[in-house]
Amino acid sequence: MTAGSLTLFILLANKPYGIQEASVVEYTLFEIFLTFAATRSLRRYLFTCPAVRPQIPRLLWRHLGYVITLVIFQAVMLAARPNLSSWWNTPDKKGSTPFEIALFFLCFGIGYAQVLGSRSILERAHQDFSTPG
């Protein structure tokens, strides 16, 4: 998954909005994996589970909102990049710039917020489904 997304970034980097297009694909793949897969001590959720299936439209709408937020933040930051001081665009010893690091952490924060929210929705759905009443 990571190798494919890296290839996608390389192929689309020079296109207008190519970074945003690659980000949307990679972001969606990681969100699906981190929301539904069993990671560390977190529970696994199945698409076929009767408690999860009614929540899928809600999760898709939330995902659309997060993707729109991600693309807007990236577009604003990439548009502001040429106007920033040279410090933001100067590569360090590893070749990355403070701007790229800030952009990464912004995207990571948006993704982390979505995963936490989505897993919370699914956990509540399981609790409501298993509660007799």
Which string of DSSP letters, residue by residue, matches 31-48? Answer: HHHHHHS--TTPPP--TT
Place of tokens 């959720």: 45
Question: What value, to the nearest 5°, has the Cα angle with vertex 107 and ends 71 and 24?
Answer: 45
Copy the structure tokens of residue 21. 């297009």
Kindly tell me if the per-residue pLDDT of 60 is higher than 70: yes
pLDDT above 90 as % of the chain:
41
Q: How far apart are the first and last CA of the chain?
A: 42
Listed in sequence order, the residues at least 6 apart from 132 whose beta carbon sits closer than 8 Å to its beta carbon are none
Residue-range domain boundaries for the chain: 2-130
pTM, entire model: 0.83
